[in-house]
Chain A
Amino acid sequence: SQELEQSPQSLIVQEGKNLTINCTSSKTLYGLYWYKQKYGEGLIFLMMLQKGGEEKSHEKITAKLDEKKQQSSLHITASQPSHAGIYLCGATTPGYALNFGKGTSLLVTP
């Protein structure tokens, strides 16, 4: 079965700093989702990547899917307190299920 490993597990950054979260798959990725979750709440859809080399941006968040399609990165530029939360990557599987990593917890300090 496919395993998704996220790194780092947790991150504390000062407001205004840039940061990157990685998601590495044990198998080729055919579709990769990034979600944000506030503690104990539902998941907020950020972006979906499907093609190797694809890059998408929304506001100050950029996600990339590498050419070999086994890793994705999420980059936040000039972090703000509103970026705090848990970032989850999810991969589409043969079928309909999403397979998730354990998440990266982000705290942005003033």
Chain B
Amino acid sequence: DAGVTQSPTHLIKTRGQQVTLRCSPKSGHDTVSWYQQALGQGPQFIFQYYEEEERQRGNFPDRFSGHQFPNYSSELNVNALLLGDSALYLCASSSTPLYEQYFGPGTRLTVT
């Protein structure tokens, strides 16, 4: 049974560019949440998608946007990258929005 998968593993972008990160949820899960984890910090909630809609959003600017597809996979898009966007981006899936969340391995984004 495949767990949560994320791609790519690592990414290096230049300030001002745009990036798309991808997530496939654990089999049987229909809810995807995205978190940003800066070095030495706990993960910070970005947003959650359920039934292809954004259900809740954390304190992140509109440069951060997402999408969920009919097969429950999800994308996180970040526009106009800033140096401060450098972090580990984690995707988590659950069987419903309120159930326990299982995390993927993350995508390490470096903005230069």
Q: Enumerate chain A interface residues (CB-CB to B < 8 A).
A: 4, 33, 35, 40-45, 48, 88, 90, 92, 95-103
A102 x B108 contact (CB < 8 A)? no
B interface secondary structure, majority: strand
CA distance A10 to B64 in the complex (A): 32
**Interfacial residues, chain B to chain A (CB-CB below 8 A):** 4, 6, 31, 33, 35, 40-45, 48, 50, 55-56, 58, 88, 90, 92, 97-98, 100-106, 108
| Docked pose: A97 CA to B94 CA in angstroms | 12
When distances are taken between beta carbons in the complex, the residues of chain A under 8 Å from B97 are 96
| B100 and A97 within 8 A (CB) | no
> Is there contact, CB below 8 Å, between A101 and B42?
yes
Contacts of A100 in B (CB 8 A): 42-44
Question: In the complex, are the beta carbons of B103 and A45 less than 8 A apart?
Answer: yes
- From B105, which residue of chain A is reached at the shortest CB distance? A42
Contacts of A42 in B (CB 8 A): 4, 6, 90, 103-106
